[in-house]
Structure 1
Amino acid sequence: MKKIFQFSLIAGLVMTPFFANAHVKWFTNVTPQKETIENILSPLFMGLALTAAIVLAMLTLIIPRTAQWGKVKKLDDWLSGFRKYSRHILKYGTAAALIIQATNGTLFAPEFHLTNTIAMILTWIAIGFLLIPHHISTKAGAVILFGLFVYVTLQNGIFHMLDYGYYVAIIGVLLVGSTKLEQVGFPFLYLGTGLSLCWVAVEKWVYPSMSLDIVANHGVPTFGFAPAAFVVMAAFIEFVVGYLLVVGILNRVVGFVVTVIFITTTMLFGMTEVIGHFMIHIVLIIFIIEGVSFYNPPIKLHKTKADQFVFVFLNFIFVLATFILVYYRFA
């Protein structure tokens, strides 16, 4: 029964709408129209929120048991053997992502075009530093990258750049390498990436017209659901994935499933998808390798299963409500 439940969960995630993790700004020219809060908090939304909270809370009871399965242990041991390469994967993966972006005239995302000559030169200097196998060079590249992120933020606004907050986390990991703070790097990466995914998901609820335009014009399969309902469900999947990363549940499985989803989106959206999400692929590979070996997730603050169940249920509702209210007010 437990195996069937987990298989169903994973299958459901894999069959999630292809654009669940896509940045809708990249693929539509529709003028954003903010939905009313009454329409956002529809019966479908409320029902899905309650269902998601219950399922996530149940995972606190199920996942520890599945971790004891022989095959799961063998897989964990095998993946753990690659942990020594994690920081190298992040460093050179970041350099590769920047190369892909710069050669296509963009920085951080397809919507941010490199029109400033100085910014372009600094981007290539940062790439050069990241390609040098020395921690001092890595820190120099990270400092330049942070300056470029601040530059893009000043041009586009902080709430827009929260979509790409995982870059701040990546820069943080690169900066603390080979220092006393090295151990806090990857937990910060988990947190930053999870919060970014949650933030991007809310966009689909607050500005559904953009997502609906993508569904209509890009041939996105809705699996029999009405497009409006489909968009709501797709956003919930993305929000749940981000939340799972933050609270420390099912990280390796989430990393694998989301990577599969990102790969499938490339078939729909092509090179734009590659440019925008290559860095996310690198981060998810690290999640698959690392698991939660270094991370003391918030759920561990509660010792009993009952406390963990209640914490995840209530915390999910609280986080969901907070993100919607903040996004609706400021974005």
Structure 2
Amino acid sequence: MKKKQIIPAIFLILIITPVTALGHVKWFATQTPVKEPIENILTPFFLLFALFIAILLGLLTQVLPKLMKIAWIQKTEKKLASYRHLSRYILKYGTAIALILQVLSSSVFAPEFKVTTMWEIYWIWITIAILVIPHHIATKIASLSLLVLFIKVLGNVGLFHILDYGYYLAIIGVLLIGKTKLEEWGFPLLYLGTGLSLCWVAVEKWVYPHLTVEIIHHHHVPTFGFEPEVFIVMAAFIEFIVGYLLVVGILNRVLSVVVTILFVLTTTIFGYTEVVGHFMIHIVLLIFIIEGVSFYHPPVAMHTNILNKVIFVSLNFIFTLSTFLLIYYRFA
């Protein structure tokens, strides 16, 4: 690989590195959440870093196509594409395994959503049993069963909290519309649902930074020389960026692999709870690695001019960031 090709690849990996510090703060924090004053969130560093990221993402639309011309990446892309027929099976049985891990830890969907009654346990096991049946009708029945569980959890914790796990609605949707005329909308829905969920969870770290500071100190999370408060801002930006890239269709297989590796590394810090909580995300990212974005007509594809693409991605990032922060802060 030529040196000028190596540099962008290394840069992309390094810029995403802080995500290794990200566990879901609700799973590990012991303090009571206290909302940070908005003026403490919108610091000069936050605003300048947001502007830097917006420009960087705009330029990313030009860097990635060059990376995709590298011979070994093209070869890998073709190899992974040959496994696309397995994607729906991976989602189906991966969901079943995720539910097994959850019910064995007395939870459903996430470690903080505890299962407290025997009927819930039976319901989850029945859902798992139906889900593993190799027939699309059984898959649809299991997805409806999952939807009932999701609505039940929604009723217990409220809409604001359940939005952290909105990607489960996307998963349910993909399983439900399989083998129908709407099947082609499945994986784009999965991209959208997962991306929006990651963006939403990222904002939590800005609004409740003291929870993440506690986790950093308690679990001895490396901050790479940055002050914890500064590191939290940067790490949350990276998580938000990953979600944003999924939505706009820029996160291709190369970045999916990087993000998957970094999520795996978090298990060395947070242990089994991290495995239970993020197992479904690993399954989703595995599907993204296999599928790429070949089935997805991303919003950025509306523009063919280089400058228009850069401006579109940069301005939309600022708009999306502002919207998520405003809505989260208003209802937090």
**TM-score, normalised with respect to structure 2:** 0.97
239-248 vs 59-68, which deviates more? 59-68
1:305 and 1:17 map into 2 onto residues whose CA distance is 29
Give aligned-pair identity as a percent: 57
Q: Which residue number in structure 2 is paired with residue 263 of structure 1?
A: 264
Q: Which residue number in structure 1 is paired with residue 202 of structure 2?
A: 201
Q: Does 1:326 align with 2:330?
A: no
Q: Which residue number in structure 2 is paired with residue 254 of structure 1?
A: 255
Q: Which residue number in structure 1 is paired with residue 11 of structure 2?
A: 8
Q: Which residue number in structure 2 is paired with residue 131 of structure 1?
A: 132
Q: Does 1:114 align with 2:119?
A: no
2:19 and 2:65 map into 1 onto residues whose CA distance is 28
243-252 vs 233-242, which deviates more? 243-252
Q: Which residue number in structure 2 is paired with residue 279 of structure 1?
A: 280
Secondary structure, in 3 states, of the residue corresponding to 2:111? Answer: strand
Residue 228 of structure 2 aligns to which amino acid in structure 1? Answer: P
Residue 5 of structure 1 aligns to which amino acid in structure 2? Answer: P
Q: Which residue number in structure 1 is paired with residue 226 of structure 2?
A: 225
2:258 and 2:290 map into 1 onto residues whose CA distance is 14
In the comparison of the two structures, how many residue pairs are matched?
A: 329
Is the CA contact (8 Å cut-off) linking 2:19 and 2:263 kept in structure 1?
no
Residue 227 of structure 1 aligns to which amino acid in structure 2? Answer: P
Aligned pairs for 1:59-98 within 5 A: 59-98=60-99
Is the CA contact (8 Å cut-off) linking 2:169 and 2:193 kept in structure 1?
yes
1:25 and 1:69 map into 2 onto residues whose CA distance is 41
Q: CA deviation at 1:254?
A: 2.5
Is the CA contact (8 Å cut-off) linking 1:214 and 1:220 kept in structure 2?
yes
Q: CA deviation at 1:2?
A: 4.3
1:17 and 1:102 map into 2 onto residues whose CA distance is 27
Secondary structure, in 3 states, of the residue corresponding to 2:113? Answer: strand
1:27 and 1:119 map into 2 onto residues whose CA distance is 24
Residue 35 of structure 2 aligns to which amino acid in structure 1? Answer: K
1:327 and 1:251 map into 2 onto residues whose CA distance is 28
CA deviation map 1:18-54 (0-9, x unaligned): 223x210000111101011111001111111011101
CA deviation map 1:34-87 (0-9, x unaligned): 011111001111111011101100011111222222222111100001100000
Q: Which residue number in structure 2 is paired with residue 296 of structure 1?
A: 297
Q: Which residue number in structure 1 is paired with residue 217 of structure 2?
A: 216
Residue 18 of structure 1 aligns to which amino acid in structure 2? Answer: T
1:227 and 1:24 map into 2 onto residues whose CA distance is 14
1:111 and 1:169 map into 2 onto residues whose CA distance is 20
Secondary structure, in 3 states, of the residue corresponding to 2:18? Answer: coil
1:299 and 1:87 map into 2 onto residues whose CA distance is 26
Q: Which residue number in structure 2 is paired with residue 18 of structure 1?
A: 20
CA deviation map 1:219-271 (0-9, x unaligned): 00111100100111110010001001111113212321121111111111111
1:299 and 1:121 map into 2 onto residues whose CA distance is 45
Q: Which residue number in structure 2 is paired with residue 234 of structure 1?
A: 235
CA RMSD across the alignment: 1.0
Residue 16 of structure 1 aligns to which amino acid in structure 2? Answer: P
Is the CA contact (8 Å cut-off) linking 2:19 and 2:239 kept in structure 1?
no
Is the CA contact (8 Å cut-off) linking 2:91 and 2:284 kept in structure 1?
yes
Residue 11 of structure 2 aligns to which amino acid in structure 1? Answer: S
Is the CA contact (8 Å cut-off) linking 1:129 and 1:141 kept in structure 2?
yes
Secondary structure, in 3 states, of the residue corresponding to 1:237? Answer: helix
2:61 and 2:317 map into 1 onto residues whose CA distance is 13
Q: Could you list the runs of 5+ residues in structure 1 that have no partner in the other structure?
A: none
Is the CA contact (8 Å cut-off) linking 1:2 and 1:62 kept in structure 2?
no
1:191 and 1:17 map into 2 onto residues whose CA distance is 20
Q: Does 1:165 align with 2:166?
A: yes
Is the CA contact (8 Å cut-off) linking 1:17 and 1:221 kept in structure 2?
no
